[in-house]
Amino acid sequence: MRLFKSAFGEYYAHIAVLTAIGFLSGILEGVGINALIPLFSFITEDDGDNSIVTRTIREIFYFVGVDFTIKYLLIFIAAVFIVKAVILFIGSYIQLRIVQDYTKKMRADLFKKFLYARWSFLLRQKIGHMEKMLSTEVKSVAALLGSVSTLILLTTGLLMYLLVAVNISFSITTIALCTGIIVMVIFQPLVFKTRDVSRATAAQSRENAHFINENVLGIKTVKALTAVASMVTEAECRFEKLRKLGIKLTILNSIFSSFFQPFSIIFILFLFSFSYKTGDFSLPAFAAIIYLIQRIFSNIQNFYMHIQGIFKELPYLEHVTECQEEARRNEEKDIGSNPFVFERALSFKNVSFGYQNHSTTIANISFDIRRNSFVGLIGPSGGGKTTIVDLALRLFEPDAGTIELDGVPVSDIDLTRYRKNIAYVSQDIHLINDTILQNIRFFDDSITDDAIVNAAKQAQIYDTIQAIPQRFNTIVGERGIHFSAGQRQRIVIARALARNPKILILDEATSALDNESEIKIQKTIENLKGKVSVLVIAHRLGTVMNCDVLFVLNNGKVIERGEPKELLKDKNSYFFKMYTMRG
């Protein structure tokens, strides 16, 4: 119940309205069904016209000054059922609005919570799981909410049918109700079995989504290593597991309805036989009670099916709620309020950091990135270079020591303002399947077209863009597939420069480029000297040869620092050895 309250608490008012609609609909149908008794009495000339129901309806007609005839009785019955249909339509509309509103809000809330979560939390997420959750699992949770809403309508309708049926025949109604409850209890284990199979289906679906996304992203490697056949076999095994679970789920969902429909017919035949043998058998009253019993059984069947549907979708609600809560607990905290002021230096002071469940990655590191300076960072893989970038971007907080901007701890600076002034270019190029213009603007409408053009010129990509027929309106393709690696990287650098950053971080931005592209990016960096602070992490030494100061990292510590030309004078230095190996 707590799970439902936390997930659907804001819809209590809507659910209350649905409850009222259910009662009103049931009352109207009860009145309409009761009105059928005197109608049958008119037709069959049965003495049913002396029943309580007939007398009550006749008195209502006389009270409003309408003749109690077949003509007006038919009009009355039709009007009652039309009004009931309108009310049910309103209920269906409210139910639809609830479900669609919940779907939209939950997707938006989940997406927002994930994007605002800490980087450490996002690193733990599997590829494809979030997409699966937003596209499919939230829809299943919305279906659960729809089932809850329908259950309310069914319950209120069932209560009204029972009240009307009791008014006609207490004994028959009691027998029907008890029989329906007994049948539901007998089949109750199927509900829990449905939940278990659905839970396994949800888990398998997520793993399949992860498998597909992971390998589609690496499809070139899959083809190059001739692993396609093996991967197809693996996929077929996974899909087979899902198929078997789907069959189980379908069988579980169909068992009750397959049994209950013929059972209800047999039960009605039994009632006819039982009532016919009694002395006070009335065809109009019996016709009405049979209709009501059929409606009661239909509601019981639908009630059970929706209960089963709720348990089927329950694992999705559990998973979505769990992920939502975990993302909330891992929200990226921003306690800073100071403005971004960069006049002197961004300083690492005795900074140490280690990833969760791992040993220390960097230990007691101190260095400065001075305003408008060009700083290089090199070292073997695993030395801690990217960790320094993550700390500079405030994706992580140091375990020890402080990072300061002009003497102010960066944790005291407003996070949004801080990141707006630091541009980041990764070796993992991220482009969206849109125009060059939109890839450079990248969801920041404050960036003008002129700023984009200037950034493209600075990034040495403007001439390339102008040579294309559509120019800045050219679609780059999925992950920028229509452009070379060097061109994609320069578009990303233009994106960074268009934001007019105070600090530009290039993390292995030239590692996968050809010599021509590397030279162009080196020229871009050279042109930025004295205008913006640049931190370059590189394996290619040519990228950092002209930097103002070079830091060499190894095993999480700064082992060398100084101007590249000065470091080359020490033939025992790591930098000299790497430079010599380069030839």
pLDDT tens sequence for the chain (583 residues): 676 666 676 777 777 777 777 777 777 766 776 666 666 666 665 554 455 656 777 777 788 787 777 787 788 878 878 887 888 788 888 888 888 888 888 888 888 888 888 888 888 887 778 888 888 888 888 888 888 877 877 777 777 777 777 776 777 778 777 887 888 788 888 888 888 888 888 888 888 888 888 777 777 777 776 778 888 888 889 989 989 998 988 888 888 777 877 777 777 777 777 666 665 556 666 666 777 777 777 778 788 788 888 888 888 888 888 888 888 888 888 888 899 999 999 999 999 988 876 667 888 899 899 999 999 998 887 778 888 988 999 988 898 999 999 999 999 999 989 999 999 988 788 888 889 999 999 888 888 999 999 999 888 888 888 998 888 988 888 877 888 888 888 888 899 999 889 999 988 776 656 677 777 777 878 888 888 899 988 877 777 888 889 998 888 888 888 888 888 888 888 888 887 876 5
Q: Are residues 180 and 239 in the same domain?
A: yes
**In a domain? residue 525:** yes
In the sheet that holds 400-405, the strands lie side by side as: 360-370, 345-354, 400-405, 408-409
Number of Cβ within a 10 Å radius of residue 294: 16
b/e map 469-508, b = 16+ CB within 10 Å: eeebebebeeebebbeebbbbbbbbbbbbbbebbbbbbbb
Domain assignment of residue 334, yes or no: no
Asked whether 106 and 320 are in contact (CB, 8 A), the reply is yes
Q: Which two tokens stand for residue 267?
A: 């039960």
Q: Provide the residue range defining the domain that includes 227.
A: 2-329
Alpha carbon 211 to chain centroid distance? 18
Number of domains forming the structure of the chain: 2
The structure's pTM equals 0.74
Q: Are residues 189 and 256 in the same domain?
A: yes
- If phi over 0 gives left and psi between -120 and 50 gives alpha, with beta otherwise, what is residue 135? alpha
- In order, the DSSP letters of 151-207 are HHHHHHHHHHHHHHHHHH-HHHHHHHHHHHHHHHHHTHHHHHHHHHHHHHHHHHHHH
Residues 353 and 267 in one domain: no
- Cα–Cα distance, 1 to 20 (Å, whole number): 22
CATH of the domain at 275: 1.20.1560.10
Q: Is there a contact between 490 and 459 (Cβ–Cβ < 8 Å)?
A: yes
- Rounded to 5 degrees, φ, ψ at 378 are -130, 170
Task: Say yes or no: 292 and 389 in one domain.
Answer: no
Q: Are residues 97 and 231 in the same domain?
A: yes
The verdict on residue 212 lying in a domain is: yes
Q: Are residues 323 and 410 in the same domain?
A: no
Q: Is residue 335 part of a domain?
A: no
Asked whether the beta carbons of 452 and 498 are under 8 A apart, the reply is yes
Q: 460 vs 6, 546, 549, CA distance in Å?
A: 53, 19, 25
pLDDT tens-digit series, residues 449-486: 999 999 998 888 888 889 988 889 888 888 778 888 88
Within-domain flag for 401: yes
In the chain, the amino acid numbered 569 is K
Identify which of 381, 375, 415 has the alpha carbon closest to the alpha carbon of residue 395: 415
* CATH number of 470's domain: 3.40.50.300
β-pair partners for 403: 348
The answer to whether residues 435 and 477 touch, using CB atoms and an 8 Å cutoff, is: no
The answer to whether position 81 is within a domain reads yes
Q: Are residues 314 and 373 in the same domain?
A: no
- Last-in-domain residue among 329, 356, 389: 329
